[in-house]
Structure 1
Amino acid sequence: MPHLQQLITRPLIVYGGDMFSARNRHSLMLPHHFHHISKLILILLYLPVCGDKRFLMEEMTKLPNITTLGLVVLACGHSFGAGSFHVLRMSSGIRELTPQLVTRSDCKAFAVCQSGCICAEPSNWETEDLVLPCLKELAINDLRGTEHELALVKRLFKWAAMLERVAVIFEDSIAESNCEELRRLLLSFSRPAICMKFSHGGCLPFD
């Protein structure tokens, strides 16, 4: 399929046991057949974590050359920095990144991450340097301003030294007063050369 422009995978389970490991391998088989994909959309799914689970993203060892990377994150209250970092480390040539932060109603029962949760591992993403030299545009959808979200966003500004434009769409349920506070915080992460736009719900495309 030499003219394929966009590919979306089945959800990838970030932490789990052998059964989910096998499922992930099936999801990753198709991208391996392509050298370049204009837009790749990966869905990172965080399930309730208990018992003998491990970080499964390390089994992802290669991705095609990608122009636009879409990350659909269903974190269910867990930290998603390590999983996102692992994907970005293999996608250093991306020009546009579009994280979609999804909140599911069935995640409410375990929306509070417990101390010592496996989602904090591996922790190297918080200290290890990552260079995204081609990344020019970042569009964050459904930002709620949680600690886990802001931790990753702050690192993204550091990793993408050539970033030019950032669009942030706040999640509908966020109060306007909280949106204003988040705007100020995000601008403190930014640099003068970056054009930042904000929207409360809906869609905010780049001009």
Structure 2
Amino acid sequence: MKGSPRKGKDACSQPPRVHVLCLQISAQDQSGPVLNFARELEKLPVSNFTILALNLNAEGHVLAAFVSRILGMHHLQTSIQRLKVVLCNWSEMSKCIKHCPCNEPKNWRSYIISLTRLEEVEIYKFRGGDHEIDLVTMILSWAPMLTRMTIRLTHEINPSDIGDCAKSIYKICFGHPFVNSFVYLSNGELVPCSQM
């Protein structure tokens, strides 16, 4: 029993284990299956991911529907605490091609996903399009424990659109007073909500 106190002491000095799932998703053309990750994710030996990082490069697909399909997987709903979404090369389109699996079912905007442990969200290269705004709105409504939402605008955004984009984001976030919301330019400069 001499070793017991030492083991306890060492156990306390060990950092907690964090499981990160990083998905690099590319769908450059509009043919073939776009989103059939559920079966593949179920095969992974660890399912309690605390951080989910999505690097999306999927031109021509509905962003919010696409991400909601991923977040709707049960083991992600109940485990992720941080969500990071990077919109690498996302082109804004009003709809996917006919019969695109990421836009099915058509009523995806009315889905309720319970992200019970999600506390922090970061979205990078945000352009301010309708589907990106949909994504922010849905995440805020799905995550009752959310405390921080950070959005970093793309350097490609037209300078004259920055104010309107930030205003739209802050307006949505004001409906969730317990969430600290921040909008940054691509250079790291904070876009204050006072510009509303």
Confirm or deny a common fold (TM above 0.5).
yes
Q: Percent identity?
A: 23
1:100-134 superposed Cα distances (whole Å, 9 cap, x missing partner): 00117xxx8x9785663514223353222101111
Q: Distance in 2 between matches of 1:163 and 1:151?
A: 17
TM-score by length of 1: 0.68
Matched residue, 2:98: 116
Question: For the structure 1 residues 161 and 85, does the alpha-carbon distance in structure 2 shift closer, same or farther, using more than 3 Å as the test?
Answer: same
Matched residue, 1:140: 123
Matched residue, 1:57: 37
Alpha-carbon offset, residue 77 of structure 1: 2.7
Question: For the structure 1 residues 172 and 66, does the alpha-carbon distance in structure 2 shift closer, same or farther, using more than 3 Å as the test?
Answer: same
Q: Does 1:200 align with 2:185?
A: yes
Q: Helix, strand or coil for the counterpart of 2:136?
A: helix
Q: Residue 66 of structure 2 contacts residue 103 of structure 2 at CA under 8 Å; is this kept in 1?
A: no
Question: For the structure 1 residues 95 and 54, does the alpha-carbon distance in structure 2 shift closer, same or farther, using more than 3 Å as the test?
Answer: closer
Q: Select the structure that is richer in strand.
A: 1
Question: For the structure 1 residues 114 and 134, does the alpha-carbon distance in structure 2 shift closer, same or farther, using more than 3 Å as the test?
Answer: closer
Correspondent of 2:133 among 137, 150, 170: 150
Q: Does 1:43 align with 2:43?
A: no
Correspondent of 1:97 among 83, 88, 109: 83
Q: Distance in 2 between matches of 1:189 and 1:78?
A: 23
Q: Does 1:78 align with 2:61?
A: yes
Q: Does 1:168 align with 2:148?
A: no
Q: Distance in 1 between matches of 2:83 and 2:94?
A: 27
What is the number of equivalent residue pairs in this alignment? 166
Over alpha carbons, which structure has the higher Rg?
2
**Can you give the 5+ residue segments of structure 1 that lack an aligned partner in the other structure?**
6-35
Q: Residue 57 of structure 1 contacts residue 86 of structure 1 at CA under 8 Å; is this kept in 2?
A: no
Q: Helix, strand or coil for the counterpart of 1:91?
A: helix
Q: Distance in 1 between matches of 2:115 and 2:94?
A: 31
Q: In structure 2, what residue type is equivalent to 1:198?
A: V
Q: Residue 74 of structure 1 contacts residue 101 of structure 1 at CA under 8 Å; is this kept in 2?
A: yes
Q: Helix, strand or coil for the counterpart of 2:150?
A: strand
Question: For the structure 1 residues 143 and 194, does the alpha-carbon distance in structure 2 shift closer, same or farther, using more than 3 Å as the test?
Answer: same
**Can you give the 5+ residue segments of structure 2 that lack an aligned partner in the other structure?**
1-14, 190-196
TM-score by length of 2: 0.72
Aligned Cα root-mean-square deviation (Å) = 2.9
